[in-house]
Homo-oligomer: A and B are copies of this chain.
């Protein structure tokens, strides 16, 4: 079952060196969740042949242009492509007013319903769930109201353990019983269902951008499989990071280490870095499993 993050844009503020602005797609089985939507996101969706009709929710971290200015264009393109399904957009306050102004003067009536959910960027709370995932807001600290997002798979159904089938030499009928959730009576001994089955781990992804170094998020993202954390600067520019309320690669890696993350993705790179390996190397000095995100790449993580 798929659970991976596809990175569409990695630059901060202004596009540079062929790098676009913040946008990522989390794929969970057959569902796509779009997180941030910088200018040009619809170009990247096309470049990377992403089936955008499978996007039903969009999560915007904050209303700085490099994180959402591709949204209105994408909404218009969905409309031209004949979309009928409801689209739900999560964001700190203000986005509906902005989108409504665009639609008003364009005299555009969308052929699908648009729902806006205002996210309280000061609270960690569940803001959404469907059959596959639960999504939680993560209070970040930036120049304006900013929310990170934690995606957590719903508990998987129990799978029958192939070792148990072998060990107890189960019949087809017994396997059916176990799959139905029943215990088994074998030679007068009751074997509880949970000895015969297992659950796959619930995988998780946290998106943390933009933010200062912020230890208060650690409880929310503890043991996350994939952590995306902004790393606008290298640590020699920590003062600039503090001034503009961003993080350094070293700080991102420290958050990854302290949260016991599986993998760290870095992004939101300053245009001063033509190559991003300097940011990756810095992060790896603290947290080995760090990657400077590459646009078009998909990232997954399987814990032992």
Interface residues of chain A, those whose CB is within 8 Å of chain B, are: 13-16, 39-40, 42-43, 46, 63-66, 69-70, 72-73, 76-77, 80-81, 93-95, 97-98, 101-102, 104-108, 143-144
Contact = CB atoms under 8 A, between A and B. Distances in A.
Given A39-B40, A73-B69, A98-B101, A64 B15 contact: no
Given A15-B43, A98-B98, 12 more contacts: A14-B77, A39-B42, A39-B69, A64-B108, A65-B106, A66-B76, A69-B73, A69-B102, A93-B105, A97-B101, A101-B101, A105-B144
18 contacts: A13-B76, A13-B77, A14-B77, A14-B80, A14-B81, A15-B42, A39-B39, A39-B40, A39-B69, A39-B73, A63-B102, A63-B105, A65-B108, A66-B73, A69-B73, A94-B105, A98-B101, A101-B101
Contacts of A13: 76-77, 80
A144 B108 CA distance: 10
Contacts of A46: 15-16
Given A15-B42, A77-B14, A80-B13, A106 B72 contact: no
B101 A143 contact: no
Contacts of A77: 13-14
Q: Which of A46, A64, A98 has the most CB of B within 10 A?
A: A98
A53 to B, nearest CB: 14
Q: Which 7 A-B pairs have the closest CB atoms?
A: A94-B105, A63-B105, A39-B73, A65-B76, A98-B101, A69-B73, A14-B77
B143 A70 contact: no
A108 B67 CA distance: 14
B40 A43 contact: yes
A138 to B, nearest CB: 20
A25 B108 CA distance: 27
Contact of A102 (B16, B40, B65): B65
Given A14-B80, A42-B15, A94 B98 contact: no
B106 A144 contact: yes
A213 to B, nearest CB: 22
Contacts of A107: 143-144
Contacts of A80: 13-14
A97 B105 contact: yes
Contacts of A63: 102, 105-106
A76 B38 CA distance: 13
A106 B95 CA distance: 10
A46 to B, nearest CB: 7
A106 B106 CA distance: 22
A241 to B, nearest CB: 16
Given A102-B98, A107-B143, A65 B73 contact: yes
